[in-house]
Structure 1
Amino acid sequence: MVKKSYDWKNGAALDDHSRVKLRILDEYFREYLRVRCVLPQQEKFRLAVVDGFSGAGIYEDGSFGSPLVLLNALRQTEEKLNLYRAAEGFRPIVIECYFSFNDVDPEAINLLRENSAGIIAEINECHPNVELHTSFHTGEFEQSRRAICQRIQASRVRSALFNLDQYGYTQVSEATLIELMNITRSAEVFLTFAIESFLTYLSPERIRNIIGSNTVPFAGNISNVDENQTKPNWLGSVEKVVFETLRGAASYVSPFSIHNPDGWRYWLIHFANSFRARQVYNDVLHRNKSSQAHFGRSGLSMLHYNPRESLDLYLFNQDSRGSARKQLLDDIPDLVGKFANALLIGDFYKASYNETPAHSDDINFAIINNPDLEVVTQNGGLRRSANTIRDTDVLKLRDQTSFFSLVR
């Protein structure tokens, strides 16, 4: 049995790293719904949302926990979407959502039933374009997931979002992550863990094998978190270990730490099988600047170490974006050259997004403003503006390279 980390009955305190996680989860889910409901002709979107370590839903200061954050985001986003659609003369869109809440603590689940009753009733009574189905489960997630996954499969939804804010690291296995990522056609997972638990779980041999292959040089014991948690080189090495350990679970895995100037102790990982999902996630992190941290390259191949390059702390802020644009001007032509000098923009995104922290605007800026690249439309014309680039365009190296490319 997992030791309970929160005293929900007497009021659980909301710490700083949890506040950051909830802010990112809230904004991402809103953007997720907006993107998935964007087509004017679309009349319904069906999805499942699973909160595997839900808690009681409200902290001692009145702040919403993840279950209420998600429910609140659903009702507010649906209302905003349909107000816009009505103004544009489009039919309303119905969002059908299967929520599953689980916690190992029966008391937390009982309190969650009470704390969520009001918002669930309000959605059912006042939001006719939301079809809400909720279920509550008690138990360790590895056991409860069987019933939850059966419910998802029975619902026949094609999209699922899992929030797994575990208490340590061992409550969600790598095999379970792979299973969840394949439960529907489009699945995404948010996984949280304490880095000390993660490094303790891994064998020393596995860690040595990873950090011995092109990772940021770090002289100390990577598993000694208390001693090294404020050192950027340590952060870069740990990112590499996290990424290499979990990259098999999904096509796109973000290995970024929750930023804390006093020490990087908690990680929030986003798993997706679509580059578009990773693109949206990166952009959300930039809107919440300094919420997560990366140490290494800021362009493409973010975890690749080259002793001739200087590495910096990337905090998803304006200074970091400036650094990314400079590196992307070099990196993008190099990547295009590996694809016989031309590829579809969509294929470029697929090849690049798993190993970049960059904002989508900065990537498109570096494409349009690069003297060695051109973007060709399906009709043979040239794109002149970054915000008009389409996945079906062709990104190619120019026939005549610039002096800029010769001196890189």
Structure 2
Amino acid sequence: MNNSSFFDEQKEQSLVKARIVEKYFWAWAKVIIGVLKRQEQQQRLSKKLKLAYIDLFAGPGRYQDGSESTPLRVLETAIQETDFRERLITLFNDVDTNNTQSLQNNINLIPNINQLKIQPAIRNKEVGEEIVKSFEDFKLYPTLFFVDPWGYKGLSLRLINSVVKNWGCDCIFFFNYNRINMGLGNDAVKSHMDALFGEDRAKQLRQKLQPMTSKDREIAIVEEICEALKEMGGEYVLPFRFRHENGNRTSHHLIFVSKHVKGYEIMKEIMAKESSTTEQGVPSFEYNPATKFQPLLFELSRPLDELTDMLLDEFAGQTMTMIEVYQRHHIGKRYIKKNYKDALLKLEVQGKIRAEPSKRKKNTFADKVNVTFPPKP
């Protein structure tokens, strides 16, 4: 898909993607602003500290059907609160001058856009060495970085790390699985794949993929990009999968990268709510338009049962609070906080754990409830 056709119509998947970014921006900014205010008080600063939103593949701002894309959504969110209006710096870039002109026109039409103390900056540059080097050379404000290229050109580990290296900086990027899957076997785009995975990792991945089925290839490719991000310091990585309309094939992943567990937990809850299905209350972390026509398929998996078994095995003989169970176990897994409460309630009813206090409001399991797991037989 080229960039001229991408904005012809806003697919439902694009709506979900934009919603995830918008929701995270709002939650992230509130956390960051709270920290900035405390810093201002402690240091007795008269000048308000800033935060930023950067989108290097911003597009024209609207789809052909009139629907707003992410830049307009973010700006409209920022205008709603004084703290955002006074502190937010925004940078939107697109190599296509038609897109940047259209974006500027659409931004000008946003009601009360002039209430932003710092007006949006719009640039018209190709994403490459120059932009990466500029980010690498400066300590950035706390920044939410959204990278949504048409394929893979410009997307690299260096680009992502150039932003998330600084405090308060998180990245959400579009990972076009089909394009990247094909690119790994195409010598003509070897340099792009090496930039995305790292040269050594890309070489090993190409060899590993040769005998694999399509399902195993996808798991391996996404796992490798997540591991590459972790190695560069993005400790908390969370992918969200989008499937084609028929539900049979993956179209792309939206991947979140952060150095702080708080951002990971916030994004996990957002992605959980945007998942098209849950299994025993456990979110799928994917948007699949076909799931509503295939309900039986998604009831065959019993992930909550798997969670109870894991907890009994991994914490055998230990006593800890519910919140400690959650914090020690959930990283890298698709379970959210509510799933841990449900699993522990289930184990308590079955008599497989001891919970104190035992007398509580029915069907509740507070963060501070102590849990004792039996030793392994």
Q: Please give the per-residue CA displacement for 1:125-177, whole angstroms capped at 9, x wherever unaligned.
A: 4xxxx644421222122333555677873xxx4x3101000122241211222
> What corresponds to 1:336 in structure 2?
315
8 Å contact kept, 1:279–1:353: no
Q: Are residues 1:13 and 2:9 paired?
A: yes
Match of residue 258 from structure 1: 242
1:47 matched to 2:51? The reply is yes
Counterpart secondary structure, 1:198:
helix
- Cα deviation digits, residues 84-114 of structure 1 (max 9, x gap): xxxxxxxx88761111111112221122111
| Other structure's SS at 1:98 match | strand
CA change 1:320–1:255 in 2 (3 A) is: farther
| Change over 3 Å in CA distance of 1:97–1:220 after alignment to 2 | same
CA–CA separation in structure 2 for the residues paired with 1:280 and 1:33: 12
Root-mean-square deviation over aligned CA pairs: 4.3
Q: Which runs of 5+ in 1 are unaligned?
A: 80-91, 212-218, 223-227, 303-314
Q: Which residue of 1 aligns with 2:95?
A: 104
Cross-structure match for 1:214: none
How far, CA to CA, are the matches of 1:145 and 1:179 in structure 2?
6
User: Is 1:191–2:173 an aligned residue pair?
Assistant: yes
Q: Distance in 1 between matches of 2:169 and 2:75?
A: 19
> What are the equivalent positions in structure 2 for 1:7-406 lying under 5 Å apart?
12-34=8-30, 46-76=50-80, 78=81, 96-119=87-110, 122-125=112-115, 131-142=117-128, 143-147=130-134, 153=140, 157=141, 159-183=142-166, 185-199=167-181, 200=184, 201=193, 205-207=203-205, 221=212, 228=214, 232-249=215-232, 250-260=234-244, 261-290=247-276, 323-337=302-316, 341=318, 349=326, 351-371=328-348, 389-390=366-367, 397-398=372-373, 400-401=374-375, 406=377
TM-score, length basis structure 2: 0.71
Question: C-alpha deviations, 1:189-216, integer Å up to 9, x for none?
Answer: 11112113323226774226767xxxxx
Percent identical: 18
Please tell me the residue identity of whatever aligns with 2:97. P
Q: Are the aligned partners of 1:239 and 1:256 in contact in 2 as well (CA < 8 Å)?
A: no
> Residues 112 and 251 (structure 1 numbering): CA distance in 2 closer, same or farther, change over 3 Å?
same
Residue identity opposite 2:3 in structure 1: S
Q: How far does residue 56 in structure 1 lie from its aligned partner after superposition?
A: 1.2
CA distance in 2, matches of 1:280, 1:55: 27
2:45 is aligned to none
Q: Which amino acid aligns with 2:272?
A: H
- Pair 93,107 (structure 1): closer, same or farther in 2 beyond 3 Å: closer
Segments of structure 2 that go 5 or more residues without pairing to the other structure are 42-47, 185-192, 195-200, 286-290
Q: Take 1:209 and 1:373, find their aligned partners in 2: how far apart are those partners? A: 46
Normalising by structure 1, report the TM-score: 0.66
The one-letter code of the counterpart of 2:176 is A
Q: Would the alpha carbon gap of residues 263 and 370 (structure 1) be closer, same or farther in structure 2, given more than 3 Å must change?
A: same
Q: 1:175 to 1:58 in 2, by over 3 A?
A: same
How many residues are paired up?
333
Tell me the SS of whatever aligns to 1:141: coil
Q: Give the whole-Å Cα distance in 2 for the aligned partners of 1:122 and 1:193.
A: 34
Counterpart contact for 1:20–1:258, Cα < 8 Å: no
Instruction: Assess if the C-alpha contact under 8 Å between 2:132 and 2:162 holds in 1.
Output: no
Residues of 2 paired with 1:180 and 1:383: CA distance? 49
